[in-house]
Amino acid sequence: MVQASDDLTTWTDVATKSGTGGWSWLGGGTARILTSGSGPVTVKVGDLVPADASHARRMMRLKVTNP
């Protein structure tokens, strides 16, 4: 799961992936997920919030869980 935050305390889910399935965009509208590669895969996930003065400090993290 990819999450984003303004304050490192409250995290919002941005995208998720389960098992061998594809990535799912959780932000509504146009998905901001790009994947490339066929062995090791590179995944780029955009944020739900635009970069502007009201969100000057925005952090993202990858949260991995073991089922």
What's the pTM value of the predicted model, to 2 decimals? 0.82
- Please provide residue 62's backbone torsions phi and psi, each rounded to the nearest 5 degrees: -105, 120
67 within a domain of the structure (yes/no): no
Mean pLDDT of 1-18: 93
Mean pLDDT of 32-48: 87
Mean pLDDT of 48-54: 80
**Structural domain span for residue 14:** 2-62
Query: In which band, very low, low, confident or very high, does the pLDDT at 66 lie, cut at 50, 70 and 90?
Result: confident
47 within a domain of the structure (yes/no): yes
For the ranges 15-19, 23-27, 46-50, 61-65, the lowest mean pLDDT is seen at 46-50
Please tell me the total count of domains within the chain: 1
Q: Please, what is the average pLDDT of the chain? A: 88
Task: Count CB neighbours of 26 within 10 A.
Answer: 15
